Structure 1
Amino acid sequence: MNFGMVLKNLGILLICEAFIMVPSLFVSIINKGYDIRAFIITIVILLIVGFLAASVKPKNKNIYARDGFAIVAIGWILISFFGSLPFVFSGVTSSFIDGFFEASSGFTTTGASILTEIEGLPKGILFWRSFTHWAGGMGVLVMTLALLPSVGKGSLQIMKAESPGPTPGKIVPRLGHTAKILYIIYFGITIIQVVLLVLAGMPLYDSLVHTFGTVGTGGFSIKNLSIGAYNNVYIEIIITIFMLACGVNFSLYYQALKGNVKAIFKDEEFRLYMGIVATSIILITINIYGNVFKSLGQALRHSSFQVASVITTTGYATTDFNQWPSFSKIILILLMFVGGSAGSTGGGIKNIRILLLFKAMKRELLKIIHPRAVYTVKFGNKSIEEETLTEILSFFFMYIFIFIIALLIISLEGKDMLTSFTSVAATLGNIGPGLGMVGPMGNFSQFSDLSKMVLSLCMIIGRLEIYPMLLLIFPTFWKKVNV
């Protein structure tokens, strides 16, 4: 473990967090909110701690695999810790644990909240709350690499540890250039959505914060009724399209910009993702037509939005799907586990893992029928290594194991099964709202401090896809061996 480089990079990360907090301070100053002092104090603390840590001069400037995991895991805990301070200092949250829950939910793009009255909060805090989605969507450390690509040799280890999906990597030879390309695409999508929402009749401030939640697939809204408060079909269509777009692997957009548009439609994961979306919309529309909505158009409108919101783990709502029939709710619960594509801003298990698990299952069945035959699992006409399949199986097991442990702890509160089950599913999968007490019209404020901390950790574990956080508990992980 190269402790010097770990500490130095954590310092750089905190300095970056101070700078990304500045726009929220400006919003607060413009609106003369009572949160100005909270932002100033937090920014000063971040700069002091950040510069002290970044001033470390390590003899060895290499970043090894374990260093990358340590930087990412500790970094996400730190940005959530310091990101909670504006909530605490402004008095928006009554305790640090509530503030940590809200900040963790923001940066991990979960969108679960303990705040009961959103519309009465200062605009600076609401802007910060949504901007954490945008910063955390592509990854705070990827942002750091884009701004400061020379943080150390072996910076790919940081990107591997933070980027979602089983096979993250560079889309161009230089890592810093890769990070910049990702953020240029990310920024471009953001600008386009803001413009379209403004044209659809949404105020500029509202368009900005809801775009942050859409592109980052986070889901924090500035309205108590979420997107449903606007009751604007054009706004809902725009957000639905952009939610689905941000659940797609961003490397496919890079291929499209290079002129290879066919790469998107040839991608097996993309086809599975869109197939699940289309099938879910059709089934839910049929189920709620006549039961919940009397017109087919209304049923299609709301089913499309909620399917897009849940599978991309965004968490916006246009209606209280808590009141939908059991069949529709079960489909939404299943979508919570599926999630978006690898390399997207979405959470969940990811479509590529689901696809490869089914292909591995098919291979095992074929081997029973033809024991002497040799079958390989392929993705995009390329054979998948057995090591990759083993990693995916391990990930799936760990995901379910963590889910069960968290569910057992949450169930100690004695809340109903639907609430307990979906609260863990919604936080571990970075979705946001669940069902029952934590449905789209509810929140997580009624949970105990212990449950809030467990759910906060679920958010971070889910966002980092388990490995970085679990590695921290192994004593051998901290040994000074550069491997």
Structure 2
Amino acid sequence: MPMRYRAVFKALGFLLVIFSLSFALPVAAGLWFGESAGSLLQSYILPAFLSGVAGLMLVLFNREEEGLRDRDAFLTVAMAWLLISVLGAAPFMLSGTIRDFPGALFESTSGFTTTGASVIPDLENASLVPRSILMWRALTQLMGGMGIIVLSMVVLSRVVGGSTQLFRAESSVHRTIRMRPTIRQIALTLWAIYLGFTALEILLLWLAGMGPFDAVCHSFTTLATGGFSTRNAGIAAYNAVPAIGTIVTVFMFLGGMNFVLHFQWMTGKLRSLRREPEFILYMLILTGACVVVFAALALQGGAHDLRESAGHAVFQVVSVMTTTGFSTADFAAWPSTAQLVLLVLMLVGGCSGSTAGGMKVVRFVLLAKMLRREIQRVIHPRAIMPITLGGRSVSQEVQSNVVSFFFIYLAIFCLLALLLSFLDMTLTEAFSSAASALGNIGPALGTYGPFSNFSALHPAGKVLMALAMWIGRLEVYPALLMLSPEAYRR
């Protein structure tokens, strides 16, 4: 079937128009903190104008009423995320914060994919990194967290057919959502929950002693499981105020949960949590990982007391599994056992329907059920054993997709690690950086640990990792579809 180019370009046009409005917030922040109007005009107003004009032209020249089919929707999502990441690099270069395009692309992609890795060496140098840039970094993760595609569906559901396909393409939830009767209302509900939690965290962090600007920026990047900070040491800069670490831990945990479950427990359906196999496994993995990491730190001796070890273990496990990437300690210097656990958590990731990256817990639930079924078939070869999830039968097509995704993800992970190893990375650095980029985590191990950055990485490595962030955020298939020539055949 031919690709509906006009429908895709029209959808991209609306997304660009909406995206152009996002530049207003860093401009407001810059004016508030006394930055020159000329620099703000160059850094934000110019790319906003170009994005808006390009978007309007795409809409006006593609006015036919065509709906988006599944393939078109996947391509729209993949193209939009790539295009927005490229345009989002403009403020970093035009402000002079990052002078090379590979570095600016890395920073922008890291923001919109909620990865949180950075190439900026000194975030606290006001002459190099103005407050407007810090706000722009945080905003890219706020938008990327729930997905700029879901945000835009509020408009797309009215003006472009196929909004259901767009939601399916962007979301990792592979089951029917019955919260509201329409996709537009689902998007509004999810964003209301998302922004409500964000506002609550801003208030709590401010009350705990964090400055207002820092509270806003960190809240923008916590529930989004992004990890961008306004401080070089990240959350570790606030270790003297334990309440801040506790608040951030809670909201990272919430960001790693399926947002449909948030709606359910907020409407009094607490039992749904106990019946959700993915959430149960999410809790079990977090608990088990916390115990193992705490034991490794405690056995190390001398470096931490038990209370401090427990605090760092819980914070870091939640941060890595939810793919947020915040740090209260340099886990690159932790015992090998603790580092190995964190590396595995980078691959697992959070729940489906969350803002987290990684392969998602639900896929491991299904893989475990499928493995159990195959073992049972050896004992009972004629038995019919359907796979169920949350009381619903899982089709053979979905099962095949899960297995395919698992092997494709691991293949891309190994290939990326191999390519990075050619750029003077050690084996540990290459594999952890590959896991970090593909899983949208942020920090890696070794030279690129939580208290370091990727500024010294070879330009080719920055482009490679940006590509991996994009592939990981789209959960592989839309990215591979866009890179396939067959997708564009008429």
Q: 2: CA distance between counterparts of 1:168 and 1:260?
A: 17
Q: 2: CA distance between counterparts of 1:214 and 1:310?
A: 12
Query: Matches of residues 420-439 of structure 1 in structure 2 within 5 Å?
Result: 420-439=430-449
Which residue of structure 2 lines up, in the alignment, with residue 195 of structure 1? 203
Deviations 1:440-474, CA, capped at 9 Å, x for gaps = 01111222121111110100100000111101222
- Determine helix, strand or coil for the equivalent of 2:157: coil
Which residue of structure 2 lines up, in the alignment, with residue 186 of structure 1? 194
Q: 1: CA distance between counterparts of 2:23 and 2:310?
A: 39
Q: CA deviation at 1:227?
A: 0.3
Q: 2: CA distance between counterparts of 1:291 and 1:446?
A: 31
- CA change 1:367–1:289 in 2 (3 A) is same
Q: 1: CA distance between counterparts of 2:463 and 2:206?
A: 37
Deviations 1:105-163, CA, capped at 9 Å, x for gaps = 00000001111111111000001101111100000010101244313122111111111
- Determine helix, strand or coil for the equivalent of 1:149: helix
Which residue of structure 2 lines up, in the alignment, with residue 341 of structure 1? 351
Q: 2: CA distance between counterparts of 1:36 and 1:58?
A: 34
Q: CA deviation at 1:360?
A: 0.4
The partner residue of 1:23 within 22, 25, 40 is: 25
Q: CA deviation at 1:167?
A: 3.8
Structure 1: runs of 5+ lacking an equivalent: none
User: Contact 2:120/2:453 (CA < 8 Å) preserved in 1?
Assistant: yes
User: Contact 1:376/1:384 (CA < 8 Å) preserved in 2?
Assistant: yes
The partner residue of 2:160 within 131, 136, 152 is: 152
The partner residue of 1:55 within 52, 55, 60 is: 60
Q: CA deviation at 1:286?
A: 1.4
Q: CA deviation at 1:60?
A: 3.6
- Determine helix, strand or coil for the equivalent of 1:371: coil
Query: Matches of residues 163-312 of structure 1 in structure 2 within 5 Å?
Result: 163-167=171-175, 171-231=179-239, 232-289=241-298, 291=300, 293-312=303-322
- Determine helix, strand or coil for the equivalent of 2:483: coil
Which residue of structure 2 lines up, in the alignment, with residue 79 of structure 1? 84
- Determine helix, strand or coil for the equivalent of 2:220: helix
- Determine helix, strand or coil for the equivalent of 2:159: coil
- CA change 1:154–1:27 in 2 (3 A) is same
- What letter corresponds to residue 91 of structure 2 in structure 1? P
User: Contact 1:146/1:183 (CA < 8 Å) preserved in 2?
Assistant: no
Moved more, 377-386 or 135-144: 377-386
- What letter corresponds to residue 165 of structure 2 in structure 1? Q
- Percent pairwise identity: 38
Using structure 2 for the length normalisation, give the TM-score.
0.95
Deviations 1:339-394, CA, capped at 9 Å, x for gaps = 00000000000000011101101111111122122222221122211111100001
User: Contact 1:236/1:305 (CA < 8 Å) preserved in 2?
Assistant: yes
Which residue of structure 2 lines up, in the alignment, with residue 318 of structure 1? 328
- Determine helix, strand or coil for the equivalent of 1:119: coil
Q: CA deviation at 1:290?
A: 5.0
Q: CA deviation at 1:52?
A: 1.2
Which residue of structure 2 lines up, in the alignment, with residue 42 of structure 1? 47
The partner residue of 1:468 within 472, 478, 483 is: 478
- Cα RMSD, aligned residues only: 1.4
Query: Matches of residues 278-427 of structure 1 in structure 2 within 5 Å?
Result: 278-289=287-298, 291=300, 293-427=303-437
Q: 1: CA distance between counterparts of 2:480 and 2:355?
A: 22
- CA change 1:165–1:434 in 2 (3 A) is farther
- What letter corresponds to residue 97 of structure 2 in structure 1? V
- What letter corresponds to residue 250 of structure 1 in structure 2? F
- What letter corresponds to residue 142 of structure 2 in structure 1? W
- What letter corresponds to residue 464 of structure 2 in structure 1? V
Q: CA deviation at 1:8?
A: 1.2
Q: 1: CA distance between counterparts of 2:459 and 2:209?
A: 40
Q: CA deviation at 1:333?
A: 0.4
Q: 1: CA distance between counterparts of 2:346 and 2:98?
A: 28
User: Contact 1:159/1:168 (CA < 8 Å) preserved in 2?
Assistant: no
Is structure 2 residue 72 aligned with structure 1 residue 67?
yes
Q: 2: CA distance between counterparts of 1:198 and 1:444?
A: 30
- CA change 1:184–1:83 in 2 (3 A) is same
User: Contact 1:166/1:353 (CA < 8 Å) preserved in 2?
Assistant: no
Q: CA deviation at 1:476?
A: 2.3
Deviations 1:268-305, CA, capped at 9 Å, x for gaps = 11110011111111111111025254321101111110
Which residue of structure 1 lines up, in the alignment, with residue 119 of structure 2? 114
Q: CA deviation at 1:57?
A: 3.4
Which residue of structure 1 lines up, in the alignment, with residue 458 of structure 2? 448
Q: 1: CA distance between counterparts of 2:137 and 2:206?
A: 21
- What letter corresponds to residue 419 of structure 2 in structure 1? I
User: Contact 1:428/1:459 (CA < 8 Å) preserved in 2?
Assistant: yes
- Determine helix, strand or coil for the equivalent of 1:16: helix
Deviations 1:384-410, CA, capped at 9 Å, x for gaps = 111111000011111011112212211
Structure 2: runs of 5+ lacking an equivalent: none
User: Contact 2:65/2:161 (CA < 8 Å) preserved in 1?
Assistant: no
Q: 2: CA distance between counterparts of 1:110 and 1:19?
A: 23
